[in-house]
């Protein structure tokens, strides 16, 4: 078997063209890598036969000299919350045990149309709720750089699949950081596009006004290419913007001088690892020395954003997850002869894991008649204030720089008994989802503990062109 050294889709396509590799060889390579790293627990299912058959079909098709698709033979993994017709999808939850997708997500349809090969679905936190990938019915995922540490979450399997070379690129979902934070913990690129850029049709909902499909990759061009293929209007999701999708891959280089904003409150926060804040502060100095503008902006809302995020997302989750009642699909209690309410109770008690139940209860509480205004309405006001504030900042600046996470990858089990501490670690990522702007984590730094960490860059709504441009530049410097 040929061991392939994957560096980019472009390079892979050049190799296919010159005949030094075939799609079958690429798939065989990944299948053997996946088999050798089973203990990482990144994949839930591997579609071995189908992936090989598709690769064979593509190799034959190419031989005929027909022009190839943008993602011809590109080997992709999907987070277990993204539907792929006739393949299993469970949101890593017992309540969807053995469930098979009856249709494909629009994003997946578009990948396949460009001749991508889907190699399997990837482990994650149950219903994308978590920051460590430890809340999964399939068990935890290990960080391939240090197996005593978590890969981050909730898209932990998707991050490790790219980190450990188990596929070329992967999809995750990002409701409050679930693509950017695992990318940060694993030392790869993770992009959360603008809310409404990629269709959510076929993405299992956690909090619908926050959820976006995101992309993991090793280089900016691959990520840009996937975005280009998946983005754009979809008749099945009315929240997708009708804005034209730019050719991101053709606009990646620029020598513009940018205007960066950053928050002193974020870099001086008591919860941040001093090494992380120092690295970002010196990156800011470096940017200035290259002629960019980087200015401190007052930001007094930082302590409100995690509470607002958890009130609003649990409220939406409690409503979204009410459909899992054991009647329509998925797991149902085997107890015969019980009345309906008891049937629901037993099904949901056994089917959902601890964190999901905690969030359904929290969400139901903040939406209850007596507390609605005190929690839900207030959190909506915070969301509005935050949106206005960020819009003001983007009048004067191109980007906002933030850490992705206040700490590097946690040790396995470290935060499992303290959900509040785990929630607070989302401090830098939830903002982009509350406001709906695009954000990326770029792997720029290495901590003295040996783990990587990233720089998070946020851009204005639908300005992925600039976001990808600046990411490319930061990685090349």
Measured from the CB of residue 419, what is the shortest distance to ligand GLN in angstroms? 9
* Piece of the chain touching ligand GLN by CB under 6 A; list 174-182, 256-264, 273-281, 457-465: 174-182
Give the C-alpha distances (Å, rounded to integers) separating 21 from 4, 14, 66, 219, 290.
8, 9, 17, 21, 41
Measured from the CB of residue 25, what is the shortest distance to ligand GLN in angstroms? 35
* Binder of ligand GLN out of 176, 196, 217, 326 (CB under 6 A): 176
* Piece of the chain touching ligand GLN by CB under 6 A; list 16-24, 39-47, 48-56, 122-130: 122-130
Given 158, 178, 199, 405, the catalytic residue = 178
Residue found by looking up tokens 């991508």 in the block: 116
Between CA 284 and CA 399 the distance in angstroms is 12
Between CA 77 and CA 81 the distance in angstroms is 12
Q: Which residue in 299, 350, 348 sits closest to 326, CA to CA? A: 348
Per DSSP, what are the bridge partners of residue 399?
260, 459
Question: Is 175 an interacting residue with respect to ligand GLN (CB under 6 A)?
Answer: yes
Clarify whether 79 is annotated catalytic: yes
Alpha carbons within 13 angstroms on the beta-carbon side of residue 15 total 18
- List binders of ligand GLN among 373-432 (CB under 6 A): 426
- The residue among 347 and 405 lying less far from ligand GLN, judged by its C-beta, is 405
Question: Is 131 an interacting residue with respect to ligand GLN (CB under 6 A)?
Answer: yes
* Piece of the chain touching ligand GLN by CB under 6 A; list 84-92, 129-137, 369-377, 396-404: 129-137
- The residue among 12 and 428 lying less far from ligand GLN, judged by its C-beta, is 428
Neighbouring C-beta atoms of residue 466, cutoff 10 Å? 18
Question: For the packed helices 48-63 and 23-36, what is the interaxial angle rounded to 10 degrees?
Answer: 160
Name the closest residue to ligand GLN (Cβ).
178
Question: Is 170 an interacting residue with respect to ligand GLN (CB under 6 A)?
Answer: no
Contact of 229 with 71, CB cutoff 8 Å: yes
* Piece of the chain touching ligand GLN by CB under 6 A; list 26-34, 37-45, 82-90, 176-184: 176-184
Q: How many residues bind ligand GLN (CB under 6 A)?
A: 14
Question: Is 128 an interacting residue with respect to ligand GLN (CB under 6 A)?
Answer: yes
- Tokens found for residue 152: 């981050």
Between CA 441 and CA 189 the distance in angstroms is 6
Q: Specify the DSSP class assigned to residue 262.
A: E
Tell me how many degrees the CA angle 161-193-185 measures, rounded to the nearest 5: 40
Q: Is 67 exposed, middle or buried (0-12, 13-18, 19+ CB in 10 A)?
A: exposed
- Tokens found for residue 475: 């990685």
* Piece of the chain touching ligand GLN by CB under 6 A; list 111-119, 169-177, 319-327, 451-459: 169-177
Between CA 22 and CA 317 the distance in angstroms is 44
Measured from the CB of residue 55, what is the shortest distance to ligand GLN in angstroms? 31
Measured from the CB of residue 131, what is the shortest distance to ligand GLN in angstroms? 4
Measured from the CB of residue 96, what is the shortest distance to ligand GLN in angstroms? 16
Measured from the CB of residue 1, what is the shortest distance to ligand GLN in angstroms? 36
Contact of 438 with 463, CB cutoff 8 Å: yes
- The residue among 46 and 458 lying less far from ligand GLN, judged by its C-beta, is 458
Measured from the CB of residue 267, what is the shortest distance to ligand GLN in angstroms? 21
* Binder of ligand GLN out of 93, 154, 163, 405 (CB under 6 A): 154
Question: Is 206 an interacting residue with respect to ligand GLN (CB under 6 A)?
Answer: yes
- Tokens found for residue 136: 């999964």
Question: Is 143 an interacting residue with respect to ligand GLN (CB under 6 A)?
Answer: no
The alpha helices in 68-176, defined as continuous H runs, are 106-113, 156-163
- The residue among 73 and 214 lying less far from ligand GLN, judged by its C-beta, is 214
- The residue among 173 and 320 lying less far from ligand GLN, judged by its C-beta, is 173
Q: Specify the DSSP class assigned to residue 256.
A: P
* Binder of ligand GLN out of 120, 130, 217, 454 (CB under 6 A): 130
Given 104, 131, 154, 471, the catalytic residue = 154
Between CA 285 and CA 465 the distance in angstroms is 24
277: Cβ contacts below 8 Å, ≥ 6 apart = 267, 268, 269, 403
- List binders of ligand GLN among 52-91 (CB under 6 A): none
Between CA 256 and CA 214 the distance in angstroms is 26
Q: What is the DSSP string of 336-400?
A: TT--HHHHHHHHHHHHS-HHHHHHHHHHHHHTSTTTHIIIIIHHHHHHHHHHHHHHHHHHH-SEE
* Piece of the chain touching ligand GLN by CB under 6 A; list 10-18, 124-132, 216-224, 300-308: 124-132
- The residue among 46 and 223 lying less far from ligand GLN, judged by its C-beta, is 223
- Tokens found for residue 12: 């892979």
Question: Is 316 an interacting residue with respect to ligand GLN (CB under 6 A)?
Answer: no
Catalytic residues: 79, 154, 178
For ligand GLN, the binding residues (CB under 6 A) are 128-131, 154, 173-178, 206, 313, 426
């Amino acid at each position: 078997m040929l061991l392939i050294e994957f560096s980019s889709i472009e390079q892979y396509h050049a190799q296919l063209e010159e005949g030094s590799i075939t799609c079958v060889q690429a798939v065989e390579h990944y299948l053997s890598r996946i088999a050798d790293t089973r203990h990482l627990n990144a994949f839930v299912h591997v579609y071995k036969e189908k992936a090989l058959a598709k690769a064979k079909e593509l190799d034959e098709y190419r031989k005929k000299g027909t022009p190839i698709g943008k993602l011809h033979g590109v080997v992709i993994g999907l987070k277990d919350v993204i539907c792929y017709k006739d393949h299993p999808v469970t949101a890593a939850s017992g309540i969807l045990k053995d469930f098979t997708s009856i249709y494909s997500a629009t994003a997946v349809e578009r990948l396949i149309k460009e001749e991508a090969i889907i190699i399997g679905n990837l482990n994650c936190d149950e219903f994308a709720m978590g920051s460590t990938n430890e809340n999964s019915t399939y068990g935890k995922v290990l960080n391939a750089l240090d197996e005593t540490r978590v890969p981050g979450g909730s898209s932990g399997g998707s991050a490790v699949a790219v980190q450990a070379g188990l596929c070329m690129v992967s999809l995750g979902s990002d409701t409050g950081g679930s693509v950017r934070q695992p990318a940060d913990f694993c030392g790869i690129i993770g992009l959360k596009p603008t809310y409404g850029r990629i269709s959510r049709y076929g993405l299992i909902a956690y909090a619908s006004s926050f959820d976006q499909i995101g992309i993991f990759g090793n280089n900016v061009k691959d990520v840009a290419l996937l975005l280009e293929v998946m983005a754009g209007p979809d008749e099945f999701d009315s929240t997708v913007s009708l804005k034209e999708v730019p050719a991101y891959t053709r606009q990646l280089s620029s020598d513009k001088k940018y205007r960066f904003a950053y928050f002193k409150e974020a870099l001086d926060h008591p919860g941040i690892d001093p090494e992380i804040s120092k690295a970002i502060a010196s990156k800011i100095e470096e940017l200035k020395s290259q002629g960019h503008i980087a200015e401190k902006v007052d930001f007094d809302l930082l302590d409100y954003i995690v509470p607002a995020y958890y009130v609003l997302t649990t409220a939406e989750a409690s409503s979204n997850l009410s459909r899992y009642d054991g009647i329509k699909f998925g797991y149902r209690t085997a107890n015969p002869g019980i009345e309906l309410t008891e049937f629901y109770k037993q099904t949901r008690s056994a089917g959902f894991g601890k964190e999901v139940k905690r969030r359904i209860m929290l969400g139901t509480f903040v939406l209850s008649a007596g507390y609605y205004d005190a929690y839900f309405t207030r959190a909506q006001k915070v969301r509005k204030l935050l949106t206005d504030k960020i819009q003001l900042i983007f009048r004067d600046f191109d980007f906002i720089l933030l850490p992705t996470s206040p700490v590097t990858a946690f040790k396995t089990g470290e935060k499992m008994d303290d959900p509040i501490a785990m929630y607070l670690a989302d401090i830098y990522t939830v903002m982009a989802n509350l406001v709906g702007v695009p954000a990326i984590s770029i792997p720029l730094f290495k901590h003295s503990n040996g783990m990587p960490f990233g720089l998070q860059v946020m851009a204005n709504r639908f300005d992925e062109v600039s976001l990808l441009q600046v990411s490319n530049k930061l990685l090349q410097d």
